[in-house]
A and B are shown apart, each in its own frame.
Chain A
Amino acid sequence: MPFTNSISQFYEFLLERYPDILVAAREHVTIAIVAVLLSTLVAVPVGIYLAKNRAKWLHSTVFSIANLFQTIPSLALLAILLPIVGIGTKPAIIALFLYALLPILRNTLAGFQSVDQSVIEAARGMGYSAAQRLFKIQLPLAFPYIMSGLRMTTVYIISWTTLAALIGAGGLGQLIVSGIGVNRKELIFAGAIAAILLTLLTDQLLGLIERKMFKRAKSA
C-alpha cells in the first residue's frame, strides 16, 4: 500500500537524518528563547512601571508601539531589519523580540493590576518598603498572569521562528525551505512536524509550570 510505504520511507529518512534535525531544532530553540528572554527583560519592568504610573497617554503610547510591532507582518519586519542589521540570527532575534513585547507587557500589567489594593496597603502599613512590596507581594501575586503571557508568547515565537530560515538564521524552517527547494516531501514533513511538536511540547511544559505557580500564588 502506498501509504504505509511512504510512512516507512519517512521513518527511514528520520533515522538517517535525525542529527541534522536535532541541530536545526537546537538552533530554533536558541533563537526563540533568547528572543523571549530579552523581551521579558524589557517588557516586565515596563509593565511594572506602567502599573505604577497611571498616566493614560503613557499607557496608550507604550501599548500602541508594542501593538505596532505585533501587527507588522513578520516577513515584512524581517525584511525591514535586514539592510540595517545584516543577515542571520541577529535580525531574527530582534524581530522576534519585538513581537513578544506586547503580549508579555499586557500580561504583566494585567497581573499587577489584579493585585488587591488592600493587600498592598496592609503591606505598607506593616512597614514594607517599595522594593519589598514589589518583590515580596506584587511580583509573586502577579506571577501567574505573567507566566500565562510568557507561555502564550513563547508558543507563538517558536512558531514564528520558522521564518528565520529565510534570512540565514537556520532553525527548523531551514528544513522546510530546503525541502521545498529540492522537492523532497520528507524534509518538509520533518521540519513541519518537528516545529509543530516543539510548539506543542513547549505549550504543555509551560502549562505545567504555570499551574504549579498558580497553586503557589493561591496559597500565598
Chain B
Amino acid sequence: MMLKTNGFIALFEYISDNASTLLSLTIEHVIMVLLGLALALVVGVPLGIISSKNEKLASVILSAANILQVIPSLALLALLMMFLGLGFKTIVVGLFCYSLLPIIRNTYVGLKEMDANLNEAGRGLGMNKWQLLMKVQLPLSLPFIMAGVRVAAVIAIGVATLAPLIGGDGLGREIYSGLNMRNELKIYAGAIPAACLAILTDVLLGRLQNRMKSKQSRQKVETQQGAGVSVSN
C-alpha cells in the first residue's frame, strides 16, 4: 500500500509516458457514452412526448424505463452480452438503456410543467398541435431535457467503465488491466481520469443547463407578449 508523495510522482510519470494510450482510451470512452446518449435521445424524447400527452401510456413507459434503470449495471451488461456478444455494440446498447429513464422522465416532466397560458398563447397565434410542440413546448422544455441528459451522461460514464468485462474498451480497460496486473499506477491512471471525466461533464452540462434556463424565462415572456397575454410572473 504505497501512495503519497513519491506515488504522485510515479503516477505523473506513468501518465505522461502513456499519454497517447490513455487519450485514445478516453476518446473511446467518450464515443461510447455519446452514442448511447444519442440513441437514448432519439428514442427517449419521442417517448417522453408521448407520455406527456397520454397518462396511461405514461405510467407504462415510465415504469418500464424505471425497471430498466434499477437493474444492476453488471447484470444488464452480462445479459446483453449473452444475446449480443462481446464488444462495442453491446455496451452502447447498455448505455442506451441506462440513459433512457432520465431522458424520458425529464422530457415528460418538462412538457407537463408547461404553463397552460403558453399553450393558450401558442394556440392563439394560430399554431396547430405539431407547431405547438416543435415551436413552443419542446424548446421551452429544453432545460429539463438538458437536466436529463446531464444525469444520463454521468451515469453512462460510470457504466461505461465496466465495458472491459464484456470485451469493450475505454478507461475501464486501464483500471481493469491494472487490477489484473496488480499495477496500482495503472489503476489510478484509469480511475482518476474516469472520475474527472464524470465530474467535468456534470459541471459543464450543469452550466449549459443554467444558461438554457435563463434563456427559457426570457422566451416565456416573449411568447406571452407575442400573443398579447399579460405576464403574470
Chains A and B share a contact (CB less than 8 Å): yes
**Chain A residues whose CB sits within 8 angstroms of the CB of B161 once the complex forms:** 73-76
Closest to A196 in B: B71
Give the shortest distance, in Å, between A74 (CB) and chain B (any CB).
6
Per a CB cutoff under 8 Å, which of A71, A166, A196 touches B72? A196
Closest to B196 in A: A72
**Chain A residues whose CB sits within 8 angstroms of the CB of B75 once the complex forms:** 162, 173, 176, 188, 191-192, 195-196
**CB-CB contacts of B46-86 with A at 8 A, as 1s and 0s?**
00000000000000000000010011111110110110000
The answer on a CB contact under 8 Å between B78 and A179 is yes
Give the shortest distance, in Å, between A160 (CB) and chain B (any CB).
7
The answer on a CB contact under 8 Å between A162 and B74 is yes
The answer on a CB contact under 8 Å between B195 and A82 is no
**Chain B residues whose CB sits within 8 angstroms of the CB of A173 once the complex forms:** 72, 74-75
Which residue among A73, A79, A86, A179 has the maximum number of chain B CB atoms within 10 Å of its CB? A73
Per a CB cutoff under 8 Å, which of B70, B82, B188 touches A200? B70
The answer on a CB contact under 8 Å between B179 and A192 is no
The answer on a CB contact under 8 Å between B190 and A79 is yes
CB proximity to B under 8 Å, residues A156-182: 158-163, 165-166, 172-173, 176-177, 179-180
A189 contacts B by Cβ under 8 Å: yes
The answer on a CB contact under 8 Å between B172 and A75 is yes
Per a CB cutoff under 8 Å, which of B71, B188, B202 touches A192? B71
A199 contacts B by Cβ under 8 Å: yes
The answer on a CB contact under 8 Å between B78 and A83 is no
Given A73-B195, A162-B73, A196-B72, residue A79 in contact with residue B178 (CB < 8 A):
yes
* B interface secondary structure, majority: helix
The answer on a CB contact under 8 Å between A82 and B179 is yes
A27 contacts B by Cβ under 8 Å: no
Per a CB cutoff under 8 Å, which of B3, B72, B78, B179 touches A84? B3
Given A71-B154, A72-B195, A180-B165, residue A80 in contact with residue B74 (CB < 8 A):
no
**Chain A residues whose CB sits within 8 angstroms of the CB of B157 once the complex forms:** 73
Closest to B203 in A: A71
* A interface secondary structure, majority: helix
B198 contacts A by Cβ under 8 Å: yes
Closest to A199 in B: B70
The answer on a CB contact under 8 Å between B194 and A73 is yes
CA distance A72 to B89 in the complex (A): 24
Per a CB cutoff under 8 Å, which of A75, A161, A180, A203 touches B78? A180
CA distance A68 to B195 in the complex (A): 9
**Chain B residues whose CB sits within 8 angstroms of the CB of A160 once the complex forms:** 72-73
**Chain B residues whose CB sits within 8 angstroms of the CB of A67 once the complex forms:** 202
**Chain B residues whose CB sits within 8 angstroms of the CB of A180 once the complex forms:** 78, 81, 165-166
CA distance A80 to B198 in the complex (A): 15
**Chain A residues whose CB sits within 8 angstroms of the CB of B73 once the complex forms:** 159-160, 162-163
**Chain B residues whose CB sits within 8 angstroms of the CB of A196 once the complex forms:** 67, 70-72, 75
A185 contacts B by Cβ under 8 Å: yes
Give the shortest distance, in Å, between B81 (CB) and chain A (any CB).
7
**Chain A residues whose CB sits within 8 angstroms of the CB of B188 once the complex forms:** 79-80
B162 contacts A by Cβ under 8 Å: yes
Closest to B164 in A: A75
Which residue among A72, A173, A177 has the maximum number of chain B CB atoms within 10 Å of its CB? A72
CA distance A165 to B159 in the complex (A): 16
**Chain A residues whose CB sits within 8 angstroms of the CB of B166 once the complex forms:** 180
Which residues of B does A touch, CB under 8 Å? 1-3, 67, 70-76, 78-79, 81-82, 154, 157-162, 165-166, 171-172, 175-176, 178-179, 184, 187-188, 190-192, 194-195, 198-199, 202
8 contacts between A and B (CB under 8 A): A73-B194, A75-B162, A76-B161, A76-B192, A86-B1, A159-B70, A166-B179, A200-B67
